Amino acid sequence: MERIIGIDLGTTNSLSATVFEQGPEVIGVEDDSSITPSVLSWTASGWLVGQDAQERRISHPEYTVYSIKRLMGRNLEELGDSVKDLPYQIVEAQRQLVKVRIGERDYTPQELSAEILNKVKMQAEKALGELVKKAVVTVPAYFDDAQRQATRDAAKIAGLEVSRIVNEPTAAAIAYGLDEGKDGYVAVYDLGGGTFDISILELSGKIFKVVATHGNTQLGGDDFDQAVVETLKDRVQLKHPAAEFDDPESLQIMKKTAESIKIELSLSPETSYSFELPKLELSFEGVFYVEEFESLIAPMVEQTIESCRHVLSEAKLSLEQIDEVVLVGGSTVVPEVRKQIESFFGRPPHVAIDPYKVVAIGAGIQGHLLAGGRRDFLLLDVIPLALGIETLGGTFSKIITGNTTVPIEESETFTTNVDDQTSIDVNIFQGERELIKDCRALGQFKLKGIPPMKAGYPLVEVIFRVDASGILTVSAIEKRSGKKAEIEVIPFHGLTQFEIERIMEDSFEHAVDDFNERQLIEFRQTAERIFLGIEQTWDVAENTLSKLECTEILKQIDAVRQSMKGQDSQELKLQLDMLGDLTRPLADNAMGRSILSELKDGVQLNG
């Protein structure tokens, strides 16, 4: 299968993702190297792209290009004022298209975007250890044909074949597997570095359609940073009234400080900061409180909520008709942003996948599917392999069957097989085979302090509970005494999709053998119990049965013992059934029945 990766070509950051054996994930060694700032800078030795270029925004502003996505497929007229703040020079080329002038040369936005795509591609190749030729590339839902075509061209220049252009909100919804869910409406709220958009998707028969989109191409996390910068300036000026901050270096230092204050305040209610402005020969420090930050961004957040109202009315939908809300973009990490979204939509949004990565991950899944991959990696909400415990003779008793949707709780009651057993080992396994030696051990615990009782008398309820995040809690309670114990495990930790598939295949392959082996064990146990029962009721037998009948029983016991040594479960069953027929008159006797019926108790736990 030739890999098709997913690429989120963002205004601020770009990254790629694919479906690994363990499931979909961003491609890259660590978060740092997996995310490429969408910035490039021209140097004597060619383009620098990503983090290195980011550093040059201060030192070489006229050689450094960012927010190139805004220029894709646009002409000067369409761009209007929106690019007047960009420090690099934008010139008009033929057919009104724009180019970026760097030094002596003019570059199309496609060529510049291609440099970013190429960097993302190379990083993916390095991390995957294979060549990458095809990709699914995402674009905002509001991109028109010219903008989409420009994106395709950029990929072509970067040596990538575009398998599909996918809308960013659609990719995000796919990342959450919503395309597999029931038909309805999904709202995708995307607040990135420099842009905001809200899209309403309609899901019908696994296909998403964008029914309405609205937003602001000049609103994002950068504006949050800018608001913090203004506050910092005011604070500095209170102490140093003559201070001026117009030089790019000072502005950049304050902007960096502001962004880290913002990110820190996503985690804690206050943060201290300090920075130095070499140009002004001053250093400054202080504390920023989340309340201050929240009041700074409140009008901007309100503007995004206004957009949400607008898009709903455009789509002619009421709030109640929205089934799911998905968050996208680094700025949706801000708790106040989340709070406002939740209170507007009246439901908690999907946030389980990092909003930074969710678009790339959705694109990676889409690429995986287009390449012919299967969508069974979503272990998120399904238990792929059965979960259960070891029972007598090394058999595996499944409590939760494979392919069950979580959260789930199942229980089963077991008993002991030895008199006066005061503790029970609960050995937890997962697998699809009949014997625990072919399954994977997950954990074990002991249920202690059971008062001495006859074998078969204790009632041990074993409860398996898997919560929504896949964590398994196993508890056991002896009902007559109320003794209880439990353990928590993560069943699929470290188990790759590949391994799961192998386990499933194994279980099909060995199904017949396993079944025979399990039955052998079970029938041997049954035989032992019947022997015990006969032994205990032999007095009754001798009194109620004829001499011939008694001899027949003894002969049949020998026959069963013979079969028990063999490997044929069906033969053993046959002999057991014959013994059953011979002892039926005995079992019908009142006293005999009370003992034999107890011995009939199904599965018993190991001591």
Cα(580)–Cα(430) distance, integer angstroms: 35
Per-residue buried b or exposed e for 283-295, using 16+ beta carbons within 10 Å of the residue's own CB: ebeeebebeebbe
Shortest Å distance, C-beta 292 to Mg ion = 27
In whole angstroms, what is the distance from residue 353 CA to residue 330 CA? 12
50 binds, among ligand ADP, Mg ion, none (CB under 5 to 8 A by kind): none
Using CB under 6 A, pick the residue from 6, 221, 349, 491 that binds ligand ADP. 221
Q: Please pick, from the candidates 6, 9, 10, 402, the single residue that binds Mg ion as defined by CB under 5 A.
A: 10
Cis peptide before 384 (omega within 30 of 0): no
Q: Which does 324 bind (CB under 5 to 8 A by kind): ligand ADP, Mg ion, none?
A: none
Q: Provide the residue count of the chain.
A: 607
From the list 168, 432, 434, 517, the catalytic residue is: 168
Q: What type of residue sits at position 486? A: E
Nearest one of 196, 209, 173, 214 to 314, comparing CA atoms: 214
Residue with tokens 């290009």: 65
Count of Cβ atoms closer than 10 Å to residue 543 Cβ: 8
Kindly state the helix (H) or strand (E) to which residue 584 belongs, with its residue range: helix 569-588
- What CA–CA distance (Å, rounded) separates 242 from 339? 40
Q: For 84-163, where are the alpha helices, taking DSSP H only?
A: 109-128, 145-157
DSSP readout, 491-516? Answer: TTTT--HHHHHHHHHHHHHTHHHHHH
- If you write DSSP's letter for every residue of 280-347 in order, what string do you get? GTEEEEEEEEHHHHHHHHHHHHHHHHHHHHHHHHHTT--GGGEEEEEEESGGGGSHHHHHHHHHHHTS
259 binds, among ligand ADP, Mg ion, none (CB under 5 to 8 A by kind): ligand ADP
Angle, CA 152 vertex, CA 33 and CA 44 arms, to 5°: 55
Q: Which of 3, 11, 214, 384 binds ligand ADP (CB under 6 A)?
A: 11
Looking at 23-31, 325-333, 460-468, 525-533, which segment touches ligand ADP (CB under 6 A)? Answer: 325-333
User: Which range in 189-197, 268-276, 332-340, 592-600 contacts Mg ion by CB under 5 A?
Assistant: 189-197
Number of residues near ligand ADP (by CB under 6 A): 21
Instruction: Report the candidate in 328, 332, 258 with the shortest Cα–Cα distance to residue 293.
Output: 258
505: Cβ–Cβ under 8 A, 6 or more apart, which residues? none
193 binds Mg ion, rule: CB under 5 A = no
Region binding ligand ADP by CB under 6 A among candidate stretches 301-309, 323-331, 379-387, 458-466: 323-331
Quick one: which segment of 217-225, 392-400, 503-511, 565-573 binds ligand ADP (CB under 6 A)? Answer: 217-225
Stretch of 185-193, 253-261, 279-287, 427-435 contacting Mg ion, by CB under 5 A: 185-193
Among the listed residues 8, 225, 434, 438, the single catalytic one is: 8
Nearer CB in complex with ligand ADP: 8/179: 8
Look at residue 333 and give the partner it binds from Mg ion, ligand ADP, none, a contact being a CB closer than 5 to 8 Å depending on partner kind.
ligand ADP
Gap between the Cα atoms of 528 and 161, Å rounded: 68
Beta carbon nearer to ligand ADP, 263 or 382: 263
Candidate segments 6-14, 261-269, 318-326, 479-487, binder of Mg ion by CB under 5 A: 6-14
Restricted to residues 255-274, the positions that interact with ligand ADP (CB under 6 A) are 259, 262-263, 266
**Would you count residue 113 as binding ligand ADP (CB under 6 A)?**
no
431 binds, among Mg ion, ligand ADP, none (CB under 5 to 8 A by kind): none
Residue 293 makes contact with ligand ADP by CB under 6 A: no
- 501: annotated active-site residue: no
* 81 Cβ contact partners less than 8 Å away, ≥ 6 residues apart: none
Nearer to ligand ADP, 100 or 333 (CB): 333
Q: Of the listed 153, 179, 190, 324, which one is catalytic?
A: 190
Q: Which residues contact 120 (CB under 8 A, 6 or more apart)?
A: 7, 9, 14, 15, 16, 36
Instruction: Please tell me the distance from the alpha carbon of residue 291 to that of residue 269, in angstroms, as a whole number.
Output: 8
| Number of helices (H), then strands (E), in the chain | 17, 28
Q: How far apart are CA 41 and CA 149, in angstroms?
A: 24
**192, 384, 431, 533: residue in contact with Mg ion (rule CB under 5 A):** 192
CA-to-CA distance for 491 and 404, rounded, in angstroms? 13
Contact with ligand ADP (CB under 6 A): which of 330, 364, 458, 592? 330
Site for ligand ADP in 349-368 (CB under 6 A): 356
- Is 285 annotated in the active site? no
CB nearer to ligand ADP: give 198 or 586: 198
Active-site residue, 448 included: no
The region of 296-304, 329-337, 539-547, 565-573 touching ligand ADP under the rule CB under 6 A is: 329-337
Residue closer to ligand ADP by CB (options 192, 349) is 192
CB of 266 to ligand ADP, least distance (A): 4
Q: Is 99 a catalytic residue?
A: no
Q: Which of residues 491-550 bind Mg ion (CB under 5 A)?
A: none
Q: Which residues are catalytic?
A: 8, 69, 168, 190
**Interface with Mg ion (CB under 5 A):** 10, 192
Q: Which residues bind ligand ADP (CB under 6 A)?
A: 10-13, 192-195, 220-222, 259, 262-263, 266, 329-331, 333-334, 356
